[in-house]
Amino acid sequence: MGPADRDVVHHYETIQEEDRIAHGLSQLELFRVQEVLHRHLPPPPASILDVGGATGVHARWLAEEGYSVRIVDISQRHVDKANSDLAELGVVAEVGDARQLPAADDSYDAVLLFGPLYHLTEHDDRIVALSEGRRITRPSGVIAVAAISRFASLFDGLARGFLFDADFVDVVTQDLVSGQHRNPHDRPHWFTTAFFHHPHQLSEEVAEAGLSVREMVGVEGLAVHLPQLATRWENPAEREKILWAARVVETEPTLLGLSPHLLLVATEG
């Protein structure tokens, strides 16, 4: 395990990732991922490998819908918690690396890569991870890939006030120039070692790995950057308006990078 991997493991061993999109306006990411996946996943009881699945925030609802789900994650804490919390749903988790997946060729109906591309900072490593996803997915299956937008820290820093700290400006400047996100002093809420994609980079890397893009969307749109919407989120009718605002621009090329997260669904090329 190299220094970048150790940074990532340390980050996830010391935060409660399971709470990140579990409450309030942060659920926008969860709801939107569910919407997009429901358009593309084969019906239950299809088999899904959730690579970088953490403590099982997506594995839980997928298993509840009848899917057969297995998690591979780099964090032992995540794996232990997923095995403890989701055993009754038949979910099994194990420690593993997205670049060398513990699965046979053509063994899953769908593969989720919802974390690896965030933290594989080298281009070649990302291609290997995508190629591994293709290797273990059946020819008729789908691979869903998440990435962080090149502009995520800029917009998040502006919304949450971090951008008024000169050290954070340095972080954002590097993000914008190279996509290489670093938090050298381990400042809280400034994330960890990561790579942030331009939308076109994500589709190009997927193609390089031998996959064909079925759909790429911006997940959250503008709303996640507007904390004043938190109270409106609690009202079901107003929540639907927030979701609608994300849906209607989800594939608009000029706005893809506005969302903190990109979600791309691909098939074997």
Number of domains the chain contains: 1
pLDDT at res. 4: 65
Instruction: Tell me, letter by letter, the H, E, C secondary structure of 28-94.
Output: HHHHHHHHHHHHHCCCCCCEEEEECCCCCHHHHHHHHCCCEEEEEECCHHHHHHHHHHHHHHCCEEE
Residue 155 domain-assigned (yes or no): no
Range of the domain at 94: 3-150+197-268
Residue 17 domain-assigned (yes or no): yes
Q: Which residues fall within 8 angstroms of residue 239, CB to CB, at 6 or more apart?
A: 232, 233
User: Alpha-carbon distance 199 to 205, whole Å?
Assistant: 10
Please list the residues that pair with 197 across neighbouring strands. 149
Omega cis (within 30) before 45: yes
Give the pTM. 0.96
Residue 187 domain-assigned (yes or no): no
Region of residue 72 (phi > 0: left; psi between -120 and 50: alpha; otherwise: beta): beta
Per-residue model confidence as pLDDT tens digits over 148-182:
999 999 999 999 999 999 999 999 999 999 999 99
Residue 54 domain-assigned (yes or no): yes
Per-residue model confidence as pLDDT tens digits over 87-115:
999 999 999 999 999 999 999 999 999 99
Residue 79 domain-assigned (yes or no): yes
Q: Which tokens sit at 31?
A: 């709801």
Residue with the two structure tokens 């109906």? 109
Residue 234 sits in a domain whose CATH number is 3.40.50.150
